[in-house]
Amino acid sequence: MQRLASRTGTRLPFASRLAALAVVGAVVAAGTSACANGVNAQPASAALRGRSASTSPLATPSPPGMQAIQVASPPQHIQALGGALADAGTNELLWSRGLNTELPMGSVTKVMTALVVLQSGDLNRQIQIPAAVLSYVAKYQAESGGLHPGDVLTTGELLEALLLQSACDAAYVLATTYGPGMPAFLAKMNAMALKLGMTHTHFTSPDGLPYPTEYSTYSTPADLMTLGLAAMKLPVFRSIVDQRFYNLPGSRGVHHKYWWGNTNDLVGSYQGAIGIKTGYTDAAKHCLLFEAVRNGTTLIGVVLGSPDSGPAAGADAAQRLLNWGFGLKLTVSG
């Protein structure tokens, strides 16, 4: 399978991303505060400050005012084309590979879809599933939540299917509803990316499906770390991606029974894992945006383009990074 040629450029400085995250966090928080469940989103407030330990045991020079960090050895056996790992509490980038290289990311795209929907608030909005979801899923042989045309589900329930089961039918329904229409929704996704400072990201689908080409929707490890930080500031989002599954009992005359399992193999099997989202296409290979908490330390990371060693290839790479990160011995030098 042909790989995307690496495209690199100057990323928005992480200091600028801090301001962008605060602005977008406030916007999304305003939307989610209107949800009937009464949960208020917390504005995103932290952006990563660039520091890479990918090519040398000693981290690259840090920006003025930051402490230099010595890393005993980089993580081993990480075969992903791109990736990054950071301490979300201290805003220190511990490791990266191809930090600003644009790559396809498959269904990690759905994190942005969820952010755009959450900005609109009202998770109790009722949406009737259109018949078009069947042809949409069939056309692309996409991952499905098994949505039944005619069923009426809430926005919150569709978000469960979107983020856990990685349901492309749920992405289609949410996008066409909240655009309204696909073109308008994609415009909102790309506008949100710009507000977050994700200058090397572009969306042509709400689910990461490979249309019009396998490389039309793309991002970078740096941009996806920014996206992950923004999403995990939202309690509603966090509460969804932290689940192993979601069971929705049937309601006569309203909707069928549904059960959606989390495609993220880390959740429920790796101590402290609390999300975030898997991704896969033939071009993207195995991708995972992830976060875990242990002993008061929160690590957030991403791997893109992990080889096809098995269905859990992304999770395996993430676990190696997390084990390395949590076991890291940091020495602060003058």
pLDDT 10s digits, 295-304: 999 999 999 9
* pTM assigned to the model: 0.83
Out of 54, 96, 120, 166, the active site residue is: 166
In this predicted structure, which of 70-79, 155-164, 216-225, 284-293 has the lowest mean pLDDT?
70-79
**Residue 221: C-alpha distances to residues 30, 187, 215, 244, 301 (Å):** 28, 22, 15, 25, 8
pLDDT tens-digit profile of 230-278? 999 999 999 999 999 999 999 999 999 999 999 999 999 999 999 999 9
Quick one: average pLDDT of 96-107? 96
Q: Is 166 a catalytic residue?
A: yes
Q: Of 54, 96, 107, 219, which residue is the catalytic one?
A: 107
Q: Look at phi and psi of residue 235 and say left if phi exceeds 0, alpha if psi is from -120 to 50, else beta.
A: alpha
Cα of 300 vs its chain's centroid, Å: 11
Q: How many CA atoms lie within 13 A of 299 on its CB side?
A: 24
309 is catalytic: no
* Catalytic residue, candidates 110, 233, 277, 285: 110
How many angstroms separate the CA atoms of 205 and 203, rounded?
Answer: 6
Q: What is the pLDDT of residue 25?
A: 55
Torsion 326-312-91-297 (CA) sign: negative
- Tell me the CATH class for 14-333: alpha beta
Closest Cα partner for 89 from 321, 297, 231? 297
Q: Residue 43 has which token pair?
A: 């504005």
In terms of pLDDT, which residue wins out, 159 or 19? Answer: 159
